[in-house]
Amino acid sequence: MRPAGELSGSVTLQGAKNSALKLMAATLLAEGEHVLRNVPRITDVEIMSELLTSMGVDVRRAPDGALLLTQPGLGACIPEAPYELVERMRASIVVLGPLLARFGRARVALPGGDNFGSRPIDMHLRGLEALGATFDFAHGVIEARADLLMGAHIVLDFPSVGATENLLMAAVLAKGTTIIDNAAREPEIADLAAFLNQMGATVEGAGTSTVTVEGVDRLGAAEHEVIPDRIEAATYLAAVGVAGGEIIIAGARPDHMDMLIHKLGSMGLRVAEVSEGVWANRAGRRLTAVDVATLPYPGVATDYKPLLVAMLSVAEGVGVVTENVFASSRYAYVAELQRMGADITLAEHHAVVRGVAHLSGAPVKAPDIRAGAALVVAGLVAEGETVVSGAHHLDRGYEDMAAKLVGVGADVRRV
């Protein structure tokens, strides 16, 4: 990519990756044909489709684009998640809760580390144990069993997104009442609960810290539309933040991005709700630096952080960025931004970003999805040409990012 001046026009959001993957897993809870609309065409969805197919589920796209997932009867489904697929996508662990709830057993390969460090699943397992599951570990595989799941009061040590989702999907078919305290509050949790309720579950409080589930005996197939991807929205907000101009992000839900919009406002990016979604405009010469700390929702998401670091790299002043969600600090992309001339000092989970007037284009490498997006954003204003390798990371989470950026006037090409 090369700088191409200010952005203008409109970009339409895809469905949220981090919701779609969990909704797909949730279909394991009931026999029949489920219909999910607005599921993005991205690699992670393909991996989840492969995983479900390997279990005996029929997954295909309808002519209108909806994803149809047909769950066979109990006898025809194999409740196993093999290593080859779990290793390609750690989020595969969210099949554990629904498999235990519907089949009373599951074999799931243990996820390993990834480019931003090991991500433990102790909270998932402790919560499922409280519901009555037992686990054996051998040869890198979790053997899970639960003759009967029983409702329980679970307090999470930390509002983990994945643990909240796994427990929610196990609790809907457990006997009695489950209360999940210190639950994650991300919009994707409320989306999952809405789908589960559509299937016949009784979930209350999703989106708050206390989620209450009244177990039911059985669930049925359902239809649901995935919420828009707020991280993708943030990517285009960052793009207009660095390049300037005025764009509409169609489908964006500003109520899912309150804290981010507030931060961006302090940096000089004007963001407002419009009937199509969100309007954003940077009229000033450069963004202004601010300090940012990531936190569980409704705080600034850790997935926005690389985008914010890219914006701060070319802002006026100094911003201190603090990672509070992941123990490993997720700053692998900083060395790449430094190659482009960014002035960033790292100290444990902090990054001190001193804005520079100009970045310079360079070959850089995307270490993961969000970091890759941040490098693309930086490339939009780096003098000369920037080549981001490792673009397969982008495909895991973004449906045709290059084309969408071209649509708002950027000079980006996928090679």
One-letter identity of residue 389: S
Taking the complex as a whole, how short is the minimal distance between the CB of residue 165 and ligand EPU, in angstroms?
A: 7
Nearer to ligand EPU, 9 or 120 (CB): 120
Taking the complex as a whole, how short is the minimal distance between the CB of residue 294 and ligand EPU, in angstroms?
A: 8
Interface residues toward ligand EPU, by CB under 6 A? 17-18, 21, 91, 119-124, 158, 160-163, 184, 301-303, 325-327, 369-370, 397
Please give the Cα distance from 17 to 19 (Å, whole number).
Answer: 5
Please give the Cα distance from 44 to 231 (Å, whole number).
Answer: 15
Nearer to ligand EPU, 110 or 318 (CB): 110
Bridge partners for 150 per DSSP: 175
Using a 10 angstrom Cβ sphere, with 0-12 exposed, 13-18 middle and 19 or more buried, the burial of residue 177 is: middle
Taking the complex as a whole, how short is the minimal distance between the CB of residue 186 and ligand EPU, in angstroms?
A: 6
- Cβ–Cβ < 8 Å for 103, 73: no
Taking the complex as a whole, how short is the minimal distance between the CB of residue 306 and ligand EPU, in angstroms?
A: 10
Phi, psi (deg, nearest 5) at residue 67: -90, 125
Taking the complex as a whole, how short is the minimal distance between the CB of residue 114 and ligand EPU, in angstroms?
A: 8
Nearer to ligand EPU, 103 or 326 (CB): 326
Which single residue brings its beta carbon nearest to ligand EPU?
Answer: 162
Nearer to ligand EPU, 74 or 327 (CB): 327
Burial 308-339 (b: 16+ CB within 10 A, else e): bbbbbbbbeeebbbbbebeeebbbbbbebbbb
Neighbours of 121 (CB within 10 A): 19
Nearer to ligand EPU, 193 or 369 (CB): 369
Nearer to ligand EPU, 272 or 327 (CB): 327
Taking the complex as a whole, how short is the minimal distance between the CB of residue 52 and ligand EPU, in angstroms?
A: 15
